[in-house]
Structure 1
Amino acid sequence: MRLLNNKTLRAISVLCSLTFVPCAIAEVAPLWLQFEAAKANGDEPTLPDFSYAGYDYSESELPDISSWAVFNVTDYGAIANDENYDDQAIQLAIDAAQNAGGGVVMFPAGRFLVSPNETVGENIFIRASNIVLKGAGAGDNGTEIFKVNKKVNNGEYIFEVSPTSTGESVITTVVANAQRESFEIVVADASQLSVGQRILLRADSVELAQSYYSPLTIRSEWTRLLNDGFNLREIHSIAAINGNTVRLREPLHISLTIGSTPIQVRSYNMINNIGIEDIRFKGNWDSYPEDFDHHKDDIHDYAWNALRLDNVENGWIQNVEFKDWNQGIYIDGSAALTLRNITFTGKKGHMSIHTRRSYGVLIKDSADHAGHHHGPGVGYWGCGTVYLRYQMLAGQNIDSHSGSPYATLFDNVTNGHLSNNGGPHESYPHHGKHLVAWNMTLEGGPDSYNFWSASRNGHTFAMPYFIGLQGKSVTFTEGTYSANELLGQMAEPASLFEAQLALRLGSTAPEQPEETEEPEQEPEGETGGEQQPTEETPTPQPNQPNASNTSGGGAIGGLLLTLLMVLAATTKINYITRRTGN
């Protein structure tokens, strides 16, 4: 998506210098150009294709549930704004919807109390497909589900969503190497596979760990990699079968190399079309008389946990607030989920969102105002996770929670930093290959990063990629990162996820950004700090000439600005024509 070619850029630069017109041509990231070219030529792109994330991999809108059967919790005994607990009534409404083959479990406005005791295991469960929990809005006059009493146990959440059985069975094995970002695998016997089937590619291989991380050194403290190997858990669906060649709907995010440990193709049981929307979930962590202290005890870490999804595909959570929780949303072994317009408020707790062993989870247009200890998170062999326009509290950190998650995109994530990642030391590194930060804004954290350090609770990422990194100026240790393009400025396209999705679905090119004053370049390895306007050079407003333009550029400056707009428009038209073939 090159906006202007190099000769045109140089010519405009000369004209700008002659006429005193400050120019700002949005620069396209070289890694985006490489991705475009690789896709056009059928080659392996450097960056993963993150567009296979979200409900139905973002190929369709969320379901219209207006015609679904409605099961109002008040018809099953729940009463808003009273002093009685509504767990049983809510479960009865869910069970009725499940027995009917699906439906909307409706909550009217008001507060509903849950968790009448501290007994671990007494939660509210969704076990079947096509169930939506829907409230009357997450605001003050909407629906609030209030968990009163704590249930102190790691892994226990008041709402738990999963199929009754999550067992797996080996169907066949992969028998030929397959390149990352490709779509085909060759198996020993495809007779028990079918189009549309969900499968799990699974292997626990020390050999894979060594080849995957080479030439990086696996440290002796990282015993799970050294002893148990890389735990491949990549979820896929079958698009086509030709003999023993299986075409996947979504790309591999890791290369498959045949070695001494077989790569198994397993059955994988999932429920689908699970939705949660327009509800405020309220914990009671704010009533506890201590501020959060990480790992002080299980109460601080796990007392009030909200929502857990296991083995869910094509699900969504939208327009939901989580207030005063120790842990918010935990996602495990799931695929093709969309979380949007999620907010975390109230008292700081342990974790906001964490996804692991999953494929293609999209979290977008959300914010953590509580500043939970573990910010937007991934972990344990998950891949294809996308955080898009996620706002952290100032100085909060992302959380790559060890266990070698890979192919993660932080796209237009703001206000946070990259250090203090969690997870047990034996499960390091924090992240495998292809962590990508695109137009991310740093705030807080350390002044320098060595991404393959032996330090605890740091940032061991395997050769990450940074494009358009802005905010706090930091330095990176050479040899520990793959790229650091367009330092201190917005990269084009503005969103990698949205550009990749538009490219895949054949949409028109993303809109060009407004012209802004081009920041000075920082030395390689540093991000550019924010530029401060001076009295001598007032900050120009968008689409308005700077004072120096009007006085020094005169008619030539105006003609040049017109020329720039014509050139940009012509280039965009040519680009769209080339993309669409029209």
Structure 2
Amino acid sequence: MKIYKWVSLFLVINLSVAFGQSWRSSLYPANWTPGFSDKEGRFLHDFSYAGYHSGLDEIPNRKNNVIDVTKSPYNADKSGQADATEAIQKALDMAGKQGGGVVLLPEGEYKISVPENKKYGIIIRYSNVVLRGEGASKSFLKCITTNLRSKIVLLVAPENNNWSKPEDNAVALAKDVDQPTQRIPLQDVNSFKIGDRICITSDVTDEFAAEHGCLNFWKALRGPTFYREIKDIDKKNNSILIDVPTRYYLKTRDMARVYKIRVTLSESGLENFAIGNVQNAEQGFNDNEYNAPGTGAYQVHSSQVIELRNVENCWVKSVSTYKPAENTLDIHVLSNCLSLNNSRFVTVESCNFQKSQYNGEGGNGYMYCLMSNDCLLKNCYAENGRHNYDFKLMVSNGNVIYGCQSKDPRLASDFHMHLSMANLFDSFVADGDYLDASFRPYGSGGAMHMYSTTQSVFWNTIGLQKHKSSNYLIDSRQFGNGYVIGTSGKSSAVLTTPVSGIKGKIEFNTAPEDFTEGISKGETLVPQSLYLDQLEKRKVRIKNQAAKK
């Protein structure tokens, strides 16, 4: 498999560190601690909180209450002849009602579908429920519904719970927060208790938009959003201590506030199977045909194979896409593959997603899309999407893409729109791809893409081959400060030269120039992984703090 090739590449690189002239980033000395910055105020966020249980626990191997979906009373057909959707759904719901369990898909092919009157085919709606196959080369889920416009094949989400909406009255911040912090000053703390899950957010006011050069272009957006847990309360000083630092400034001017959320789905996962779409047989898959009824593009537009939404501490592990036997085209999925939406602490590990039928405009052909807090993509692979890896929206922050590979997307893996903040590409291998964090004057009305990210980091990026439309491995022109530290490989050049000007009614300026170090010298960068090193440092801090107590 292709994945093993770049695992070998990492071994070669690590040997070169051992025997070559190693170097460290000036922003990451050996004694680095959170809050370190240079004289210009440039700094690296602490990305170590990404993933299942904030990176502190491995994904569990659940063994309790294993339900074989092919046995009575579920009797799912593993021959691929009869539709197994209802049987799988009943087994998942029963596991949830029993307090949790593993729904096992024994080796075989399971035909599934999405009803016309539903937005999804199969849903995990309870905590502690795992859908598990016997391996991505043995257990197959084949979705036969080809008119999937704006629908999801496999959804992990609680019912009647939306973290975007307050569960209680919001409490205003007492003063501005302008740096990453775990201490939040509030007008009043009496409505909160330790262990509460909360949302810390602010609005995209005209003043906020103007500070980002986006007045009149950011009217319909949600502002910076951080989902957190309260770890301590200081009633004397009206402040709360949260589990993960903030990632961007919060101003009382922008109605910065805190409200409670309910976490009603956690500890659930998808494991060890392959999933694919039967191809759409209609004609019409041009870029702008997604809004033309009767075309194939219209029928598959904005469809999703897997989505996790409003969940905490969940996972997707060793899941692949595949080409159903009846597909005459070499495609695995109709449009989008995986979306992490409005969630936190999700790990996606050792997954392989490929070959979307529609890579047109309007939000199609994304293999991995991150719109959540502090999630981790680890050792994953993507091929032949429109954008293989992607960040969107101000809720997308603190995420890490570590040890992943991308091959031959139509367009760049990118920070796509609306100022996602403080995300990390770490030890990423680009094979016919490039990474883009540039100004994007696209979209319409009050939701223009504009500045796509700020304070994000490219660390130890490896370019095997150039993308067909770029001479650069990385194009980083972020709002404020961005960071490119260590590149290597046949394609290792970066583009950071600020651009400014006027396009139509849009005036833009990406100065100051993003920070760069070690271009074409990534093989000898120490540490090779920022995420793993920061995680180890945090574990040591936790251990030392526990010893003091």
Do Structure 1 and Structure 2 share a fold, with TM-score over 0.5?
Answer: yes
Paired with 1:450 and 1:409, the residues of 2 have a C-alpha distance of 15
Q: Pick closer, same or farther for the CA change 1:466–1:450 going to 2, 3 Å.
A: closer
Identify unmatched segments of 5+ residues in structure 1: 1-22, 453-459, 509-579
Distance 1:92-1:303 versus aligned 2 partners, 3 A rule: same
Indicate which of 492, 502, 519 corresponds to 1:487: 519
1:377 partnered with 2:386: no
Match of 1:32 among 24, 28, 31: 28
State whether residues 80 and 111 of structure 1, in contact with CA within 8 Å, keep that contact through their aligned partners in structure 2: yes
Distance 1:378 1:295 in 2: 22
1:420 Cα deviation from its structure 2 partner: 9.5
| Preserved CA contact (<8 Å) 1:309 1:331 | yes
- Post-superposition shift, 1:288? 3.7
Q: Report the equivalent of 1:130.
A: 128
Partner of 2:339: 330
Deviation at 1:34, TM superposition (A): 8.8
The C-alpha deviation readout for 1:266-323, integer Å capped at 9, x for no partner, is 12123100111001011113x6476964443264353753111110100011011023
Partner SS, residue 532 of structure 2: helix
Equivalent position to 1:360, from 374, 382, 385 = 374
How does 1:138-217 map onto structure 2 within 5 Å? 138-139=136-137, 142-154=138-150, 156-167=151-162, 168-169=166-167, 170-206=169-205, 209-210=208-209, 213=212, 217=213
1:243-282 mapped onto 2 (5 Å cutoff): 243=235, 244-259=238-253, 261-270=254-263, 271-282=265-276
Superposition pairs of residues 65-464 of structure 1, within 5 angstroms: 65-66=62-63, 68-74=64-70, 75=72, 76-115=74-113, 120-121=118-119, 123-139=121-137, 142-154=138-150, 156-167=151-162, 168-169=166-167, 170-206=169-205, 209-210=208-209, 213=212, 217-218=213-214, 223-225=216-218, 227-228=219-220, 231-243=223-235, 244-259=238-253, 261-270=254-263, 271-285=265-279, 288=281, 293-297=286-290, 299-300=296-297, 301-302=300-301, 305-323=304-322, 324-325=332-333, 326-347=335-356, 349=358, 350-356=365-371, 358-369=372-383, 371-381=384-394, 382-394=396-408, 397-415=412-430, 416-419=433-436, 424-425=443-444, 426-442=447-463, 443-444=466-467, 445-447=469-471, 462-464=480-482
Quick one: structure 1 residues 94 and 297, their matched pair in 2 at CA, closer, same or farther if it must change by over 3 Å? same
> 2:361 — aligned with what?
none
Deviation at 1:398, TM superposition (A): 0.9
1:512 is matched with which residue? none
Q: Which amino acid aligns with 1:390?
A: C
State the shift of 1:472 in Å. Answer: 4.0
Letter in 2 for 1:329: L
Q: 1:195: Cα distance to partner?
A: 1.5
In the alignment, the residues of structure 2 paired with residue 26 and residue 163 of structure 1 have an alpha-carbon distance, to the nearest angstrom, of 48
The superposition leaves residues 123-173 of structure 1 with CA deviations (integer Å, 9 ceiling, x where unpaired) of 21222211111111001xx1000001123322x201112111224233422
Larger Rg: 1
Q: Distance in 2 between matches of 1:420 and 1:152?
A: 31
Higher strand share: 2
Amino acid at match of 1:418: L
Unaligned 5+ segments in structure 2 are 1-18, 323-331, 359-364, 499-510
Letter in 1 for 2:185: V
* CA-based RMSD: 3.0
Q: Please state how far the C-alpha of 1:49 moved relative to its aligned partner.
A: 0.8
Question: Residue 5 of structure 2 corresponds to which residue in structure 1?
Answer: none
| Letter of the structure 2 residue corresponding to residue 437 of structure 1 | F
Aligned counterparts of 2:129 and 2:484: Cα–Cα separation in 1 = 39
Q: What is the total number of aligned residue pairs between the two structures?
A: 466
Alpha-carbon separation, structure 1, partners of 2:100 and 2:352 = 27
Instruction: Name the CA distance, whole Å, in 2 between partners of 1:505 and 1:179.
Output: 26
Residues 405, 46 of structure 1: alpha-carbon distance in 2 compared, 3 angstrom cutoff: same
1:237-291 CA-to-partner distances (Å, cap 9, x unmatched) read: 11111212100011111122222x3222112123100111001011113x64769
* Aligned residues with identical type, % of pairs: 21
Contact 1:55 / 1:316 at 8 angstroms: preserved in 2?
yes
Which secondary structure state, in structure 2, belongs to the residue aligned with residue 313 of structure 1?
coil
Q: SS state of the match for residue 205, structure 1? A: coil
Determine the structure 2 residue equivalent to 1:465: 483
Q: Is the 8 A contact 1:178 1:255 kept in 2?
A: yes
- Residue pair 1:431, 1:462 contacting (<8 A) in 2 also: no
CA-CA distance at 1:40 after TM superposition? 7.7
List per-residue Cα deviations over 1:392-451 (Å, max 9, x = no partner): 114651132212211110111122213498873543225231121111134224347885
Is the alpha carbon distance of 1:211 and 1:177 closer, same or farther for their aligned partners in structure 2, counting shifts above 3 Å? farther
TM-fit CA distance, 1:333? 0.8
Task: Summarize the Cα distance change of 1:40–1:411 in structure 2 as closer, same or farther, 3 Å threshold.
Answer: closer
SS at match of 1:424: coil
Does residue 1:504 correspond to 2:521, yes or no? Answer: no
2:58 equivalent to 1:61? yes
Amino acid at match of 1:333: N
Alignment-mate amino acid for residue 149 of structure 2: N
What's the TM-score once normalised by structure 2's chain length?
A: 0.78
